Chain A
Amino acid sequence: MERKQVLSGNEAVAHGAWKHGVAFASAYPGTPSTEILEALSSYPDLHARWCVNEKVAFDEALGASIGGVRALTAMKHVGLNVAADSLMTASYTGVGGGLVVVSCDDPGMHSSQNEQDNRNYAAFAKVPMLEPADSQECVDYVGHALEISERFDTPVLLRLTTRISHTRCVVETDDERRVPAPRPFVKQPEKYVMIPAYARARHRKVEERLAALAEFAETTDLNRIEPGDGPFGLIASGAAYQYAKEAFPGAPIYKLGFSWPLPLGKLREFVESFGPGGRVYVIEELDAFIEEHLLAAGISVRGKVLLSRCGEYTPQAVREAIERDLGEAAGGSRTAARAGAPKAGIAPVAGLPPRPPVMCPGCPHRGVFYALSKLDVNVMGDIGCYTLGALPPLRAMDSCVCMGASVGLGAGLAKVSERGKTAAVIGDSTFIHSGIPALVDMVWNRSASVLIILDNRTTAMTGRQPTAASSASGSAEATEGSPPLDLARLCKAVGVAEVQVIDPYHLEEVHAALRRALANEGPSVILTNRPCGLLAEAKRDDPRAVSRDLCQGCFQCTDLACPALVVEGGQMRIVEELCRGCTLCMQVCCFNAISVCERKTRS
């Protein structure tokens, strides 16, 4: 029976995967993709697991697919860079059971270090791509993607963006799961062993497949014209389709659901239907992906001359750009058209105090960055909650490029810097994701860098998923007798001579460990041992309070960037409900003005 429910795009992908018989799903967390695997974990009859990184997640899904079941792997856009090596050649091997690779892009960089456009991967890897424009399509397109994957023997890219992944909308779906008959593994070295002799033949198949897919693009219902009236037309896919419809609900629009390879024949017809002088606009966020392929095919469209290659679009931006262009075409000058419609309404209020994200009260990362901020060191950073250590007032991180990069950056920088000046900081999940090979290299090449591993026993940034060091398994299935990874032992095993395990709530201990490690000639590791304050296992101590008599208003403690500490009337106050009793402020106070909250001591 059809049932209406509200699902986010990510939840809808999970529902679609379950409904269309996916048996194996794998992922490494990353905004905006994380909830896909989280949601999948609660479905019966399928195996869903967190993996240590996106490449491993991809490989495991490919392995399951080769084993003959339907498989799905999900990642954020930059995650596909990590898995790209596999993707490029999985395009050659093709699949067994259907294989869907979900890439969640982040135009606007709400929570990412770049806004690369992963539609380019579809063209680069020569694999088909589907782009759902709402949650209903997310459910349905997973099914189409699996069928296309099996029919054309190829991985299929399902590309979402933040506004698709994180928009909740009404979905009608039945609760029936359809599982195709598995296709048990058959040895086919010519298909799966990509040595040059076999790969050459497979490459020819890839080119043939692409031609067949281009034909399919012309006939599939996933691409459609929504007729309308108006002197101009629109071409769009994904979230941009919604912006285009909002801006011009009555205009004819070519909606691409299957957006690689492009249905060039159908698009040419659509564009030519507007006559020789007719205008057709491609509305696409980020790169001129559709536009450039159309222009290369001699199909005349307009797009990036009007709209930015940076950031997210809005209906407003789309409407204004096209109206301006039409105004100019009708003879008005650019500036006149722009000045034409003064925007009614309230202007944004300038000069308000910003509300940047901050480390939580009691965050175990804080003490390490406070200590680093007081030292003359260059800190190669990484990605996670701890990247907030780069912001004022701590300002104790000097680089953040991509996951795992800190370790290699530290090794390279240390080699060309004065002794004792270089440290690298990385989270536990990030270290396991892609820091371990770099640590082996630090040892192998005798880098005089200090690596600080902030082990808060979780992947905090993306909502506290388990790591290989925090839990015995990445899936809900219990695994007996396999303890979590021991990070200290791992560091020693790869040859780090000195591994100091420290309590990051103890500033003197942190300082001493840093001084000692920085004086070392070889590689050195410092490992912190407090769990993320948001985990159930985190201990909470009594809240502290500032004595009005003793506080001198030196504001030294504000350097900690703790949300529980507020300046009030020339003195400090601790917000009792926020304080977790980590005691860092007590340790930095020169006047002993901070102690356990009196009300608590009395009770």
Chain B
Amino acid sequence: MSILSVPSTGFSPCAPRAPINLLAVGVGGQGILTLSALVVSAAMEAGFDVKQSEVHGMAQRGGSVMSHVRMGQKVFSPVIEEGTADMIVALEKLEALRHIHYLAPDGVLIVEDRAIAPLPVSTGEMAYPPDVLEQCRARAGRVEVYDGAALAEALGTARTLNTCFAGVLSRHLPFDEAAWRKGLEACFSARDLEANVRAFQYGRSVQPV
């Protein structure tokens, strides 16, 4: 029996010619890299060529984290050009706004309604912009906002939120159920698998606010 009882998305599993570009952004420690690793595994299982690029080092210490994922028949550049991301998934909303110029004109922004104060804000030197989501909506055609706190409550933990967002993303990606299942199995240990499958499933069906 399938571990994912999810409706079929109706996408064809064959890789499109122009790569699909996904940019995942957030703050160090939010699990951005695990989220992208899951998408990458599923993409490979679905028969796509895939490249994922990230930068380690200074960024990990509470700095912005950005991970580029490109999937297609053949992928050359590991980085996404500005204005060409089909999707941006942002686990923090200021980071969504910071990277929004990567979004393609018809791209979709998936954003967690969550604010994490960067140092200049926590020291009171600068203000966290009060209208981040409005600013995002003013720039991007398609914006899906998800309430992180509500998701964490529904999941019973904030630890699998990143996997939940992979579930949200899965609705926009042409991989079949089997590919996602294998991706999940590749990315999580037997002990964590069940909780992450649950989070993924929840994300696959939850509606934006």
Q: Which residues from chain A sit less than 8 Å from chain B, CB to CB?
A: 4, 6, 31-32, 110-111, 134, 162-163, 166-170, 239, 242-243, 245-246, 249, 314-316, 343-349, 352-360, 385, 388, 393, 461-463, 555, 558, 561, 563, 565-567
Contact = CB atoms under 8 A, between A and B. Distances in A.
Given A354-B118, A355-B27, A357-B63, A349 B56 contact: no
A32 B122 contact: no
A134 B76 CA distance: 9
B58 interface: yes
Given A32-B57, A357-B62, A6 B40 contact: yes
B19 to A, nearest CB: 9
Given A167-B51, A563-B122, A355 B76 contact: no
8 contacts: A6-B37, A168-B52, A345-B105, A353-B128, A354-B120, A360-B61, A565-B123, A567-B121
Given A346-B100, A346-B103, A111 B56 contact: yes
Contacts of B57: 31-32, 110-111, 461-462
Interface stretch (B79-87, B159-167, B168-176, B190-198): B79-87
Given A166-B54, A314-B77, A349-B100, 11 more contacts: A6-B52, A168-B37, A315-B81, A316-B82, A345-B104, A355-B118, A357-B59, A357-B62, A357-B63, A566-B117, A566-B122
Given A243-B77, A344-B83, A344-B105, A357 B60 contact: yes
B108 interface: no
B56 A167 contact: no
Nearest to B65: A355
A494 B50 CA distance: 54
A485 B60 CA distance: 29
A567 B53 contact: no
State the main secondary structure of chain B at its contact with A. Answer: mixed
Interface residues of B, number: 54
Contacts of B76: 242-243, 245-246, 249, 315
Nearest to A573: B122
B52 to A, nearest CB: 5
Interface of B: 27-28, 37, 40-41, 44, 49-64, 75-79, 81-83, 94-95, 97-98, 100-101, 103-105, 117-124, 126-129, 135, 139-140
A504 B103 CA distance: 45
Contact of B101 (A6, A170, A245, A348): A348
Q: Which 9 A-B pairs give the minimum distances between C-beta atoms?
A: A111-B57, A345-B83, A567-B124, A246-B77, A357-B61, A355-B118, A566-B122, A167-B78, A357-B63
Contact of B123 (A163, A344, A393): A393
A249 B95 CA distance: 32
Contacts of B139: 346, 349
A567 B83 CA distance: 35
B135 A567 contact: no
A111 B59 CA distance: 8
A316 B62 CA distance: 29
Contact of B94 (A347, A353, A463, A558): A353
Contacts of A316: 81-82
A167 B101 contact: no
A353 B126 contact: yes
Contacts of A343: 82-83
A356 B101 contact: no
Contacts of A461: 57
Contact of A355 (B54, B56, B119): B119
Counting chain A CB atoms within 10 Å of each CB, the highest count among B51, B100, B119, B129 belongs to B119
B50 A555 contact: no
A344 B84 CA distance: 10
Counting chain B CB atoms within 10 Å of each CB, the highest count among A166, A314, A355, A463 belongs to A355
